[in-house]
Amino acid sequence: MTQGTGKQTAGTPAGAQAAAAQTDPAVRFTAAAKSFGAVRAVDGIDLDIAPGETVALLGRNGAGKSTTISLLLGLNEPDEGAVRLFGAPPELSVRAGRVGAMLQEARAVPRVTVRELVAFVAGRYPAPLPVSEALRLAGITELAGRRVDRLSGGQTQRVRFAVALAGNPSLIVLDEPTAALDVEARQAFWASMRVFARRGHTVLFSTHHLEEADAYADRIVVIDRGRIVADGTGEQLKRSVGGGLVAFDLAGRDTAGLDLLPGVRSLEVRGDRARLRTDDPDATVIALAGLGAIRGLEVAPASLDDAFLALTSTSASTSTSPSTSSVTEVA
């Protein structure tokens, strides 16, 4: 699996911790399971994350991402199996200051300034970042004197990020860090996250945004109904699903029979353009060539959306496309 190349970054205080942890993965789940009443939120997860990796935990709402993160942070204990961080139980690793986290649904702490809050959290850790550096990394230097409860949503989120990284932890866990952020705030956030990851820290973030997982993680772990259904790079996930999209101009041609061409799974017509989802783009293109239907021909690999839907499709009978009306499903 791809590992962060910045793992051996010199000059970071995390270096010593990284050396000590070399034999142990940063995160290890062994057949971990957790139920709440009748709901099996995490249903047997095995997962290793090496130090220095940036991993996305991808899944729908309710797939088990947050429970997985609760187990990882020691906020909940698994009913079965085990969770280890750097070879130790989560509580001990948290106590030792190796973990920083940005929890979901946490709101702003009232009546403290940004600097007071970040400095306080940094002070709990054995080898924290200088406060000014934590603020700079999170991009909130100019907010240092402001009250946390008087910031915008995007600013609050970055304060929470600063709180997570203030202790300079080896592992940073971000539970849906960009939920409810606008595009601009989101990009600024990920830029900050990347700088931090490049310093050799292990990063685990959960998201239900496919583009985010693809763009910012070395590795994507897809979770569905409490189980890991795929684990690899964005490229690998797309390849594992295979197939692609073949589009061409109809130029007035009748669409009848197009959905019966080799490999074709579905047909979508938008204006004068036909878009064929296919398991075998080569065979589909050859067949189209035989029909002389290659005007404006375009072949694209499967998108991560396709991969994600294919991986998790067994779980829900939701419509597969927003433009259902013009889609002809084949088989």
Partner 1 sequence: MLDYLRLEVRRTLRDAGFVIGGIGMPVLMYLLFTNLGADDGGWKTGSMIGMAGYGAVGCALNTGGGVAEDRAIGWLRQLRVTPMTPRQVVVGRTLTGSVTVLPAIVVVLAAGGLVNGVRLAAWQWATIALLLWLGSVPFTLLGLGNGYRLTGQTTGVTNMACNLGLAVLGGLWFPVALFPDWLRTLSAYTPTYRFAQLGTAVADGHAPALGAILVLTLWLLAFGSYAVLSYRRSGRTV
> Which residue ranges make up the site for partner 1 (CB under 8 A)?
73-75, 94-97, 99-101, 103, 105-112, 116, 120-121, 123-126, 163, 167, 173
In the complex with partner 1, which residue's Cβ is closer, 48 or 116?
116
In the complex with partner 1, which residue's Cβ is closer, 127 or 330?
127
User: Helix or strand or coil: residue 155?
Assistant: helix
In the complex with partner 1, which residue's Cβ is closer, 56 or 163?
163
Number of other CB atoms surrounding residue 62 within 10 Å: 14
State how beta strands 54-58 and 202-207 pair.
parallel
What is the closest distance, in whole angstroms, from the C-beta atom of residue 96 to partner 1 in the complex? 7
Say if residues 214 and 205 touch (Cβ distance below 8 Å): no
Q: Which residues pair with 317 in a beta bridge?
A: none
In the complex with partner 1, which residue's Cβ is closer, 90 or 263?
90
What is the closest distance, in whole angstroms, from the C-beta atom of residue 52 to partner 1 in the complex? 21
In angstroms, rounded to a whole number, what is the distance separating the alpha carbons of residues 161 and 287? 52
State how beta strands 99-102 and 273-278 pair.
unpaired
**What is the end-to-end Cα distance of the chain in Å, rounded?**
35
What is the closest distance, in whole angstroms, from the C-beta atom of residue 6 to partner 1 in the complex? 24
Q: Which amino acid is at 285?
A: V
Q: How many CA atoms lie within 13 A of 122 on its CB side?
A: 20
What is the closest distance, in whole angstroms, from the C-beta atom of residue 117 to partner 1 in the complex? 8
What is the closest distance, in whole angstroms, from the C-beta atom of residue 158 to partner 1 in the complex? 15
In the complex with partner 1, which residue's Cβ is closer, 74 or 242?
74
Q: Which amino acid is at 136?
A: R
